[in-house]
Each structure stands twice: as structure tokens, then as C-alpha cells.
Amino acid sequence: MTLRLGTRGSALAMAQSGTVAQAVRDRTGRDVELVEIVTPGDRSSAPIQTLGVGVFVSALRDALLAKEIDFAVHSYKDLPTAPADGLVIAAIPPRHDPRDALVARGGLTLNELPVGARIGTGALRRIAQLNALGRRFEPLPLRGNVDTRLRKLAEGEFDAIVLAHAGMARLGRGDEATEVLDPLLMLPAPAQGALAVECREDDAELRDLLAALDDEYTRAAVTAERALLAELEAGCSAPIAALAEVAEGDDGPEIYLRGAVFSPDGGFALRLSRTGTLADAAEVGRALARDLREEGADNALGVQHDPHP
């Protein structure tokens, strides 16, 4: 029987879902049909932070629960941290590059951009970190798919834009980045670059089938990052960043997790890190969140310093 894979209709979502569909075909021999689902986020041009967490997810989950589709593929960073009743993340495939990328006119890097450069981005997390650099950049709102954002840059609306490198790479446009940003400059969103393959919790056969796509290291890293986010009770539009990497330690693989909290104006910037085992991934994230809170993370949204005195 053909499996129905629900996906948003954007070029990036279709590319991501197409990759997962092919992996399922290759590993299981089952045929997969892509079913396009339109979400409220696709119909709105409002800034992401005003739309709310899960705006690209709810319609896909509704279709899953209504059994209109068998499984769905999400950009993991778009998922709310709270689990969805009746659904389960059956697989997290190997992660693409989690970093942010700068695309600037004239091939410039971030350091080469002039004071006052207009930088397009829709993410409060990126705006806060650009402000925190103290370079007097002018972050401007930017919505739309990857092609739309790159077109607006080419037409001169911005001097540069910042977007996820994984999305560019999945569309075959990764080489257009003028700089892939070091996480020390721009720490990414929790779970950026990772995909979540979701199905109904009671579909044991499909869960077992999809488990073949799961990557242990990616799951551990994303679990740590999202546990930090959940512990701080913030959504994907909040100025919180996290990146976990798995490296070989003295006693086997271990997680190195970096987390950061910013005020939107960049005047408050707190960065901390923790390490732990893969089995303790969630606790590593929660512990780092507690560390951040003890250092004043809860005050970040209320802080209004002038980052350019």
C-alpha cells in the first residue's frame, strides 16, 4: 500500500519531504506519495514572531490525526516543544549543517559589511545577535521562501540577508552563501538543520518502518537543544539559541551543548555551555537552561540597553 507523506508546498518543504520519501523507498521498498498541505503560515505575510509557534505545523498534524496522511516531515525548529497528543517523532534523519548563512551583495562577509548595512531576516534570534555585535547594522524584516529572499536581495532591498544554510543547501543553492556564520558570531536556533518525521503513535508498523531513518547522534543533539528551549519555556520566535555537537570523549560519545539568551536589542547577551552523555541529552539541556536562568536569562526580554552607546 502506498504511504501518504504530508508536506507543505514550498520548494524547500517539498525538497525535504522528497528526500525523506526516497529514503523510505530505498530502505523499505514501500511506495510514497507526497500530499501537499497548506498551513496558515503559508497564507500569511506577517512576521514569524507574531504568528506564533507551530504555525507551519498545525495543519499537518490535523491531517495526520484525521488519517488523511500517514506521516509528515517538519523542519524540527518549527515544532512546539510540547509533545502532540497521539503523535510521535518516529525518526530524526542525519542533520544538515545547522549554521546560519550570510548572503551579501558584492560577495562581502559579515565583517566586511559597512556600518548601517541593511540586513534582512525574519528571526528575532538573528536580529538580537546582529544587534549584539555592536556594528550598528539595520536588521529589517524578511519573509518568504528561500528563492523569494534571495530575489529581494538581488533587487537591492537589502545589503545582505541571513538564513539557514541547510535550507539553501537542500535547494542546491548553498554555494551562494558569502559566509557560513561561525556559531561564535551567530548561534543557530534549537534543532536548526534537522528534520522531524512524525506519525501517529498507535501506528506501530509505520513507527518501526520509519525508525530505520533515525540518526542517533542527531536525535541526541536535537533532544538537548529542545530540552533547553522547553525548560526556558520559550517558543521558536524567542531570542534563544542553542547548538549541540557530538564528539568522542574519554568514555565514548558525548554531547557538547552551547546555549545563549539575548534581549531583542542585543544589550543583554548570555552564553554558557555544558557537556554530558548521549543518554543524558535531555538533562544536559535542562541543566544548561537552569544555568542560564541563574545568570539572569529570565530578565532578557525585559532588558532594554542601548547596544550602540
Please, where are the H alpha helices in 243-304?
A: 281-294
- Please state which of the four CATH numbers 3.40.190.10, 3.90.1150.10, 3.30.1490.20, 2.60.40.10 is assigned to the domain occupying 3-94+194-214: 3.40.190.10
pTM of the predicted protein model: 0.89
Indicate where the chain has its CATH 3.30.160.40 domain(s).
221-301
- Catalytic residue list contains 78: yes
Does the pLDDT of residue 53 top 70, yes or no?
Answer: no
Out of 70, 78, 100, 159, pick the active-site residue.
78
**Domain 100-180: assigned CATH number:** 3.40.190.10
Question: For the chain, where do the domains classified as CATH 3.40.190.10 start and end?
Answer: 3-94+194-214, 100-180
- Pairwise CA distance, residues 15 & 114, whole Å: 35
Nearest-angstrom CA–CA distance, 66 and 69: 8
In the numeric block, which cell numbers belong to residue 230? Answer: 522547553
Q: Compute φ and ψ for 40, nearest 5 degrees.
A: -60, -35
Q: In this predicted structure, what is the pLDDT of residue 249?
A: 84
Binned at pLDDT 50, 70 and 90, residue 238 comes out as: low
pLDDT in tens, 261-284: 998 888 889 999 999 999 999 999
Task: Please compute the mean of the pLDDT values over residues 224-233 and round it to a whole number.
Answer: 93
Pick the CATH number of 221-301 from 3.40.50.620, 3.30.60.50, 3.40.1020.10, 3.30.160.40: 3.30.160.40
Whether the per-residue pLDDT at 42 is higher than 70: the answer is no
Cell numbers at 11, concatenated: 520548494
Contact 116, 187 (CB under 8 A): no
% pLDDT > 70, the chain: 90
